[in-house]
Every structure is written in C-alpha cells, then in structure tokens.
Amino acid sequence: MKNPVQVRKYFLSTLCACLLPSFAWSQQAYVVVPDGSQVEVERIRVRPDGSLVVTIGGQPRDITRDQYVRAVGIRPEGITQAQALIAQQNGEQAKPILTEIMNSSRYQSWDAMAGEMLANIHLNEGNPDQAQQILATLRERYGSDLEEFFPAIELVDWKTKVATGETAGLESELDTIIKEDQNRVRKGNAQLVRGDIKVRRKDLQSAVLDYLRTVYFYSDFPELQAEALYKSAKTFAEIGDTARLRKYSTLLNERHPDSEYASREIGR
C-alpha cells in the first residue's frame, strides 16, 4: 500500500496533467491544488467535513481537505436571479435563493459569493446579527483564507462590526489602510467605514469629513462616490445643516440617479 506522501504526490501529478489556463467564476468547475495549479473537473461533490469527490475524465477521485486549497463549483443558476432581484431592491425575495446556494455550494466558492450578498441584505435591513452568523459560517468553512479568496467579504465584515458595535481595533486598522494601502477601492471603502464608526459615536463633524474626502477624491469610482454623497447628506441632516444636506442630496440624484443610494431616505 502506498504511504500518504506517495498518495498525495500521485494525486497532485494526476491532477496537474489536467491543467488549464487560469480563469475564475466560469461555468466550468475546478480545483486549486497546494502548488497553486488550477485543475478542471467535471463535477464536485462535497462531504460534510469539506473533503471532495471530483470527477475527472468520468472517474471519481477522492480529495482530502489538505489536498486542495480552493474549489470552485459550477455557477448556480440562482446567482443571476438573486443579483437581478437585489438590483430591483427586492432583497426579501433574494434571501431564500441565496440561503439555498450557501447550503448547496458549501466549500465551492459560490457559497461565499451568496453569503456576501445575503449578509449585505441583512445589514441594509438593520439585522447585523444575521450578517454576523453568515460570516461565522463562512469562516468555519474557509478559515483564515476567507478574505484572501473573497476580498468583498472584508467590507461586509467591517460594516458588520460597526453595526454590532464590535469595533475594537478596527479604526486603527482602517487608518493604516487609508494611509498605506495601494488599492484605491480598499482605501475608499476604509474611509467610508471609518466615517461610519465616527457617526456611531456621534462624532458627526469628523465623520462628514471622511465622507466628503471620498466624494471629492473618488469621483472615478461611481459606487463609492454615490455612497459617500448619501452619507454626507445624511450626516448633514443629523447635524442640522439643511443647506449642505440639499447640496449633497442634489449631487447624488444628479450624478448617480440609478444608484441604490439615490432612492434611500435621507432625513430632514
């Protein structure tokens, strides 16, 4: 009988013979092995412990949890449907679709995409505890690789911490990202979330400065600017500055009329 090291080497050599050019989120299922190589498979079946049975050339092959880094299953049909519902601001109908995908695509990457969308729906509905539960489920599956594999989860995690008040150490982390990170979208998101933290502690004048910096320095990122304009207007409403409330709500409607933020209630 082959020892475990020989089995692992045999498995990797067999899979690496099936290598294809790199691609992501396609209609084809694939597995990433520990050396970083990407391997096309015909089907992925997941066991409760995260081990896989993959089909290659019509033959099933067992893969233990330590024999692969990441698996990407075939794109679930419900993803497109859920995205359309969310775009129509019908998150309530999207929730059961996304919940089903989280269950049926566990360990196959689509569960993380569905989880990110579902958590955002809960956050927008004012239910951060449910968002927190979704993140906990994904962390149990993907561990410390969660944000590396799925960068969008980081922003959901930040917003969930703000909404639940569990912000210890977060503002310092955001400060570092704003000062040092080279990814402008990440910096812009960090600046908005830092403003959210300040709003939560009623430091409104400082919060609105973070929002305004995002308005003026991230005009080339429409989604960031739309959120920043909305939050600027909303914060000026809380401050009682009706002139600047009108200014930034007007800018939001003029520049981003199709944004979800343009249809949100601002306040006074």
29-63 tens-digit pLDDT: 999 999 999 999 999 999 999 999 999 999 999 99
Q: Dihedrals φ, ψ of 72, to 5°?
A: -125, 110
What pLDDT was estimated at residue 104? Answer: 95
pLDDT at 23 over 60: no
Residue 19 DSSP label? B
H-state helical runs in 165-241? 170-180, 184-200, 204-217, 222-239
Cβ contact 106:56 at 8 Å: no
What pTM did the predictor assign?
A: 0.86
pLDDT at 181 over 90: yes
**Mean per-residue pLDDT over the chain, rounded:** 90
At 268, the pLDDT band (50, 70, 90 cuts) reads low
CB 218 within 8 A of CB 183: no
Across-strand partners of 55?
43, 60
How many Cα atoms within 13 Å fall on the side-chain side of residue 61?
24
| pLDDT digits 0-9 by tens, 58-116 | 999 999 999 999 999 999 999 999 999 998 889 999 999 999 999 999 999 999 999 99
Residues 6+ apart with CB under 8 A from 55: 41, 42, 43, 44, 61
CB contact at 8 A, 20 and 40: yes
User: How many Cα atoms occupy the beta-carbon half-sphere of 230 within 13 Å?
Assistant: 19
Number of H helices, E strands in the chain: 12, 6
Per-residue pLDDT tens for 194-250?
999 999 999 999 999 999 999 999 999 999 999 999 999 999 999 999 999 999 999
